Amino acid sequence: MEIKDAKFEISNVDVRKCPDTDVPEYAFIGRSNVGKSSLINMLTRRKSLAKTSQTPGKTLLINHFNINNGSWYLVDLPGYGYAARGKQQRDEIKRIIESYILNRRQMECLFVLIDIRHKPQAIDLEFLEWLGENSVPFAIVFTKADKLGTNAGAAMVEDYKKVLLRHWEELPPIFITSSEKTRGRDEILDYIEAINKVVKAHQETDSDVQDVNLSEETPSENDIP
């Protein structure tokens, strides 16, 4: 799938004010500085669509990016667990993130980003556990693969899978990416495209069912006494 058009649409702290549409959306989350905004720019091939920064804590809002003229959305979320923030701001961000994840019915998959250089961290594992408890569909995206050699990167991913399998019966979809080197782009876009197709097929079936219901309710000549 190609992204022909990508536009920033709206920033929010309130999930109820997010775009009121039926199109699928895909959100990106993970610790501050893991590379969420950079990944959105890499996928859309727009250098500074989502704002990036070397300082953690750049993204503080729910940001919607409209893809291919309203066909679907990419959503940049604030990072979790940035220690230098005060407790009040950390709690506020936690509330925004949780309310978005639990209430946004259009969100078809949450991409959870993990820095490929780090051993499994409690904060990420606990977050994944919470997603599982709440039946949130997610995939894992390892970021910054260019910072390790191919073999070292693959070894980190294998270690991570082992840890996941201590808690999970099966592994989620896993992507290895580098925004710097445009790695993993086709894999993620193909995955999104496959989900978009399923959503569309469901919506068409639903609207057929609605048509049948409507036609059943419409009085016909035979109903007139």
Whose Cβ is closer to ligand GTP: residue 53's or residue 134's? 53
* Inter-axis angle of helices 122-133 and 150-167, nearest 10: 50
Residue nearest to ligand GTP (CB): 79
Strand (E) or helix (H) holding 166? helix 150-167
Closest separation between CB of residue 171 and ligand GTP, Å?
A: 22
Contact 28, 78 (CB under 8 A): no
Closest separation between CB of residue 98 and ligand GTP, Å?
A: 16
User: What value, to the nearest 5°, has the Cα angle with vertex 141 and ends 179 and 55?
Assistant: 55
Selected from 45, 147, 200, 202, the binder of ligand GTP by CB under 6 A is 147
Of the candidates 60, 54, 61, 72, the one whose C-alpha atom is nearest the C-alpha of residue 7 is: 72
Selected from 35, 81, 153, 184, the binder of ligand GTP by CB under 6 A is 35
Residue 54: contacted member of ligand GTP, Mg ion, none (CB under 5 to 8 Å, by partner type): ligand GTP
Asked if 196 interacts with ligand GTP (CB under 6 A), we say no
Residue 106: contacted member of ligand GTP, Mg ion, none (CB under 5 to 8 Å, by partner type): none
| Residue 48 exposed, middle or buried by CB count within 10 Å (0-12, 13-18, 19+) | exposed
Of the candidates 121, 106, 150, the one whose C-alpha atom is nearest the C-alpha of residue 32 is: 121
* Interface ranges with Mg ion (CB under 5 A): 36-37, 58-59
Contact 139, 148 (CB under 8 A): no
- The rounded Cα 32 to chain-centroid distance in angstroms is 15
Amino acid at 208: D
- The rounded Cα 224 to chain-centroid distance in angstroms is 53
Query: For 138, how many CA atoms within 13 A lie in the half-sphere containing its CB?
Result: 26
Query: Binding segment for ligand GTP among 36-44, 168-176, 202-210, 216-224 (CB under 6 A)?
Result: 36-44
Closest separation between CB of residue 140 and ligand GTP, Å?
A: 15
Footprint (CB under 6 A) of ligand GTP, residues 52-91: 52-54, 56-59, 79
Closest separation between CB of residue 50 and Mg ion, Å?
A: 6
Selected from 38, 44, 63, 196, the binder of ligand GTP by CB under 6 A is 38
Asked if 120 interacts with ligand GTP (CB under 6 A), we say no
Closest separation between CB of residue 39 and Mg ion, Å?
A: 9
Note the residues at the interface with ligand GTP (CB under 6 A): 32-38, 52-54, 56-59, 79, 143-144, 146-147, 178-180
